[in-house]
Amino acid sequence: MGELEGPMAWEPRLRLKDKGGNRYGSIQLIIMSYLESCLFLRQPERAHQCLLFYHRSHARRKQLGIKMYNILMHGWAKKGSLNKIGRLFFMLEEAGLKPNLSCYAAALECMGRTQAPATVILRCVQQLEEDGFKLDELFKDVVYEEDEREMVLKAVRIIEPNFHPLSQPCSEICTSPLLRDFYSKEKPVSYPKLDFSVRELRERFRQQLEMEASNTVTISSVESAKPLTEQASKARELLTTLRSEWRKSLLQTLQESKIHMANRRSWQMSLYPYLCLLEDEEYVDIMLQILSSLPPQGESLLVLAKELGAKIHNKYAVRKKLRSRLLKKIQKIYDAYAQLLAKDTQLDSYLPREYWEKLEASSGSSLLSKDCTWPHILMVQLGVHMVELLVQVIKVQSNVLNPSLEAKLIPVLYHVYSFRSSRQIGFIKPHPILTQILSNAAETTLTFDSFVMPMLCPPVPWTSPHFGAYILLPTKLMRCVEGAIQHQLLLEECPRSNLHSVLDALNQLGNCPWKINQPVLDIIISIFNAKGSEKLDVPPPLSEAPKPSVALHVGPSTPWSKSSLKRELTQCRKKTAEMYSLRMDSLYKLSIANHMRDKVFWFPHNMDFRGRTYPCPPYFNHLGSDITRAMLLFAEGKPLGARGLDWLKIHLINLTGLKKKNSLRERLAYANELMEEILDSADNPLTGRKWWMDTDEPWQALACCMEIAKALRSPDPTAYISHFPIHQDGSCNGLQHYAALGRDVIGATSVNLMPCDSPQDVYSGVAQQVEEFRKQDAQEGMKVAQVLDGFISRKVVKQTVMTVVYGVTRYGGRLQIEKRLKEINGFPQEYIWEASHYLVRQVFNSLKEMFSGTREIQIWLTASARLIAKSGNPVEWVTPLGLPIVQPYHRAKSTVLNSTMQTLSLNMRFDASQKPDTVKQKNAFPPNFIHSLDSTHMMLTALHCHRRGLTFVSVHDCYWTHALTVDVMNQVCREQFVELHSQPILQDLSRFMLQKYCTDSLAEWRDEKSLEPQTLVELLSRVPETGNFDLQKVKESTYFFS
């Protein structure tokens, strides 16, 4: 399972190591996962044989770290085998490793279990103190599971009967200068409550716990409203019979494969322990769940294997947590925590994290569990084994749908190869018979993993990189790309107080309760169950998929007609696959929304490696499309107040996309002019004049029309209780951050950092500048400039301008412009390549003129990243809130997995044991750095809005709140932007990087004669000069966010 790699020719500066010196390469993770799985099964003998295999060989021993010996010590402690633990202490000495606290904890746990003599315990404690540890540290720095802590305490009290572990000290205060005042306890603070009683919140917690413990949720499909036909009834009966047969066959084959694996040599790592972690029936359930959701066109073997492996891992992680006795502790603390959030208690002076930490400290127990991270390669290997069983076992009679045919047992799944951009990919494809049966059955239920559903109670607050969000389901604080664990190691090494503000912002976003906008949902479902609507982005059913034209099937067969037919068939298949994918995505979203229609729910949040926040449930959340956003309302309502109705009207006009260049006053006047259309849309959405359908965001526009109608018809619109979220969008937010960093007056004005009477439109500004260049070139006789006369518009340049700040290259920009030119009727097609080439050059020139400061900063960031990556290091930095960030782009490493079906090649691009990918590191640094700043601004806004009692959520640079509180949110948002950019951001970055990459001890460049170390020092020291834009002006700018 995974081959050992030879010594590396170079040592990466960011080694995959933790503070204890444990390495986390692929082979180490595989060994640790194997040992943990054996011990979960109470089989320390098997784990011991594996460890001995590595320990006995000097070459293999280098792969081992102290954590592996620890894992096994705790396994023997459960069995009360003090001799085996003693032997492991000797093995540590042989390996040149020093025992750590966890080793002594395991020894004392064993002594507590076996009630060892006081002399033995005393000798152990003396040894612990000789190694520089203190008894109290055992109860502060070690993570325990099940009854381990109690056993250690029992042993200690045999020699010190009155021993009591010191209570946990209060956590350190956040040190970021941006939030020093926010966290200081000088003034009394009061945070908003949720509109639920303590009893309701506790009941909701129990419902959520039940859902997570069952691992899957089965809900009704929105298609279930269709009448049941005889054909569907027969198909469902047939499916039930077939599934019952398949279940028996799979169970038998799985058990046989386990017996075969169990008989292998005991020291050899195999999949056997992983196939024993769950009940056999649970593996079969997972396989049949995957079979039911397999698309008609099939799925790649790799994707299926990953999905199956992840499902098994999640189920195991939940089982592990349930067994570790953590659950009772979490339940007890959550019951007390509910008092902070509930409306029927006085307590309101703590942030969720602060109060949870206080409760945890007073309970005297840690809620952290030992991590069970499985490496990517292991999940794939386990998944492939499951797929092999499915392909091998599941069979059906060939005449099951047509009894007149000959009866023959045939496989239901086929392994085939398909080409994707010149690469051969292994696919698992269902037989058309299965597709037909599933189609005929039109099953009325959908089964999802628990984490796909929104939460039924406020999420568990994030208190560390290991703990938060769901109750049982494993969730990472920082979601990462496959195989990247460097982010997690970085977070663990980071001082805990540095993460406080980030954790608190995520908790604030996750604590916002939501509900469904039922009238809008019902209209969407009615269109979905009819024939969909391309115009309204409701995907049609597969019955509407294009069919090859009949004309090609008749008449004499010629080579030309054959190739035409083949081409058309390929097009039809491609379109059908796209339609199926879109249809299923909508079916999932609508079915989840329909299931939640009468409930209040929450979206727990985590973040990506740049600090950008995301809701954890993958399908249905407020980051989704126009349709998904239109279905969501805040569960808490607030009166509109004096300006709320005006904000609703302005929001509607913003959603139409019609008056982007007009002032707010003009947008409001336009909404009043359109009132007849707005009310008609609200009253007769599908039978009236349908004005809402012609807007940029039709479904959100319809929802807003309905809200305006209800408010206007209420006795007093200012007192109308509105649950509707109002959005305020940043004006080309990436460029706003660049302009503020460079104090660039021209740039700041064009992206609305400067107060103006009407919004400045940077895209129109660039289009005008490009038009000026074009006129000059046309006068000088340039043909392409003459051809472009009348065709340069805001729309043509918008996407490129928007993405330049996020690192788009000239090549990418040319493709974007080419796409826009193809959409223009009347543009000569033969000039598209030349025109797009010319325009992208002029767009970059225009931006250089308009944003001179921006360009300089971008060049500085890119050049710094290039030299850092060339030195063999990934680019790292720390955000102004103290969040550590590392770019995960490394050279591809190919790992080959052999299976009976095919050889799988896993391309890992994020393995930190490989050299950094210089091109990706340098191109990605400027946009990633800006993303980390926009997430910092959002988090600051979230925390200060929470302090002021606002409901606040965000979709990156689009901020949402109630109509009543838009003005307050706008004020906070501007103040925090000014506060953020008043920090010496670039100077701090320069200082951090000089210290990280240019100190003498670290400058181990491969070529010592190279001038690059000196060049890097000079470059990092030369922070770009800034202009004289006055940041305070942002506070007065109406259109900064609007």
Note if 729 is an active site residue: yes
Spatial contact of 942 and 508, defined as CB atoms under 8 Å apart: yes
Q: How many CB atoms lie within 10 A of CB 358?
A: 18
Q: What's the confidence (pLDDT) of residue 503?
A: 96
C-alpha to C-alpha distance for 573 and 118, rounded to whole angstroms: 76
- Give yes or no for residue 193 having a pLDDT over 50: yes
**Hey, is 267 helix, strand or coil?**
coil
C-alpha to C-alpha distance for 184 and 188, rounded to whole angstroms: 10
- Give the torsion sign (CA, 154, 156, 162, 165): negative
Span 920-957, pLDDT tens digits: 999 999 999 999 999 999 999 999 999 999 999 999 88
Would you say residue 892 lies in a domain? yes
For 725, the enclosing helix (H) or strand (E) is: strand 725-729
Claim to verify: residue 304 and residue 387 sit in the same structural domain? yes
Claim to verify: residue 649 and residue 795 sit in the same structural domain? no
Claim to verify: residue 838 and residue 899 sit in the same structural domain? no
Would you say residue 913 lies in a domain? yes
Claim to verify: residue 800 and residue 884 sit in the same structural domain? no
Spatial contact of 133 and 319, defined as CB atoms under 8 Å apart: no
C-alpha to C-alpha distance for 961 and 959, rounded to whole angstroms: 7
- Give yes or no for residue 439 having a pLDDT over 90: no
Q: Which of 399, 426, 441 is the last residue of a domain?
A: 441
Claim to verify: residue 900 and residue 980 sit in the same structural domain? yes
Tell me the one-letter amino acid at 672. N
- Give yes or no for residue 326 having a pLDDT over 90: no
- Give yes or no for residue 554 having a pLDDT over 90: no
Claim to verify: residue 794 and residue 827 sit in the same structural domain? yes
Q: Which candidate, 495, 725, 716, places its Cα nearest to that of 603?
A: 725
Would you say residue 16 lies in a domain? no
Q: What's the confidence (pLDDT) of residue 418?
A: 81
C-alpha to C-alpha distance for 423 and 1027, rounded to whole angstroms: 50
Tell me the one-letter amino acid at 70. N
What is the average pLDDT across 616-628? Answer: 93
Which of 202-206, 289-293, 705-709 is the least confident region? Answer: 289-293
The residues near 259 (Cβ < 8 Å, ≥ 6 apart) are: none
- Give yes or no for residue 1001 having a pLDDT over 60: no
3-class secondary structure for 214-226? HCEEEEECHHHHC
Spatial contact of 227 and 488, defined as CB atoms under 8 Å apart: no
Helices H / strands E in the chain, number of each: 38, 23
Would you say residue 622 lies in a domain? no
Note if 187 is an active site residue: no
What is the average pLDDT across 327-341? Answer: 92
Span 591-613, pLDDT tens digits: 999 999 999 999 999 999 999 99
Tell me the one-letter amino acid at 294. L
Claim to verify: residue 1016 and residue 910 sit in the same structural domain? yes
Note if 798 is an active site residue: yes
What is the average pLDDT across 999-1013? Answer: 55
Q: What's the confidence (pLDDT) of residue 13?
A: 40
Q: Which long-range contacts (CB under 8 A, 24 or more apart) does 673-681 make?
A: 678/652, 678/705, 678/708, 678/709, 679/705, 679/708, 679/709, 679/712, 681/705
Q: What's the confidence (pLDDT) of residue 395?
A: 93
- Give yes or no for residue 368 having a pLDDT over 90: no
Would you say residue 218 lies in a domain? no
- Calculate the average pLDDT of the chain: 88
What is the average pLDDT across 329-349? Answer: 91
Span 239-263, pLDDT tens digits: 999 999 999 999 999 999 998 888 7
- Give the torsion sign (CA, 496, 497, 503, 508): positive
Q: What's the confidence (pLDDT) of residue 5?
A: 31
- Give yes or no for residue 798 having a pLDDT over 60: yes
Find the catalytic residue in 285, 646, 957, 996.
Answer: 957
Claim to verify: residue 903 and residue 832 sit in the same structural domain? no
Q: What's the confidence (pLDDT) of residue 825?
A: 84
What is the average pLDDT across 432-447? Answer: 89
Claim to verify: residue 816 and residue 873 sit in the same structural domain? no
Claim to verify: residue 911 and residue 980 sit in the same structural domain? yes
- Enter the tokens of residue 95: 């390996």
> Whole domain around residue 1024: which residue ranges?
860-952+965-1036
Spatial contact of 1016 and 997, defined as CB atoms under 8 Å apart: yes
C-alpha to C-alpha distance for 476 and 719, rounded to whole angstroms: 42
Using pLDDT thresholds of 50, 70 and 90, give the confidence band for residue 365: low
What is the average pLDDT across 673-697? Answer: 95
Q: Which of 806, 821, 850 is the last residue of a domain?
A: 850
What is the average pLDDT across 827-831? Answer: 87
Task: Give first-to-last CA distance, the chain, whole Å.
Answer: 55
Q: Which candidate, 591, 300, 561, 556, places its Cα nearest to that of 447?
A: 591
Using pLDDT thresholds of 50, 70 and 90, give the confidence band for residue 288: very high
Spatial contact of 390 and 249, defined as CB atoms under 8 Å apart: no
Percent helix, strand and coil across the chain, each to the nearest 5: 55, 10, 35
Of the two residues 574 and 24, the one the predictor is more confident about is 574
Spatial contact of 433 and 412, defined as CB atoms under 8 Å apart: yes
Q: Where do the H-state alpha helices sit in 62-197?
A: 66-79, 82-94, 101-114, 118-130, 148-159, 180-183
Would you say residue 110 lies in a domain? no
Would you say residue 378 lies in a domain? yes
Q: Which candidate, 578, 590, 583, 589, places its Cα nearest to that of 526?
A: 590
C-alpha to C-alpha distance for 929 and 610, rounded to whole angstroms: 8
Which of 21-25, 133-137, 327-331 is the least confident region? Answer: 21-25
What is the average pLDDT across 358-383? Answer: 81
- Considering its fold, how many domains does the chain have in total? 4
> Percent of the chain having pLDDT more than 70?
94
Spatial contact of 32 and 68, defined as CB atoms under 8 Å apart: yes
Q: How many CB atoms lie within 10 A of CB 167?
A: 11
Length of the chain: 1042
Find the catalytic residue in 729, 777, 967, 988.
Answer: 729
Q: What is the pTM of this model?
A: 0.92
- Enter the tokens of residue 307: 């999905």
Using pLDDT thresholds of 50, 70 and 90, give the confidence band for residue 668: very high
Residue tagged 């999802």 (tokens)? 448
Which of 342-346, 553-557, 601-605 is the least confident region? Answer: 553-557
Q: What's the confidence (pLDDT) of residue 11?
A: 36
Q: Which of 809, 830, 850 is the last residue of a domain?
A: 850
Q: The domain spanning residue 825 has which CATH number?
A: 1.10.150.20
Would you say residue 738 lies in a domain? no
- E-state strands within 495-634: 513-516, 601-602, 605-607, 613-615, 632-634
Claim to verify: residue 795 and residue 887 sit in the same structural domain? no
Q: The domain spanning residue 244 has which CATH number?
A: 1.10.1320.10
Q: What's the confidence (pLDDT) of residue 524?
A: 96
Find the catalytic residue in 798, 915, 920, 996.
Answer: 798
- Enter the tokens of residue 948: 């002021």
Claim to verify: residue 846 and residue 865 sit in the same structural domain? no
- Give yes or no for residue 550 having a pLDDT over 70: no
Q: What's the confidence (pLDDT) of residue 7?
A: 28
What is the average pLDDT across 202-228? Answer: 90
Using pLDDT thresholds of 50, 70 and 90, give the confidence band for residue 713: very high
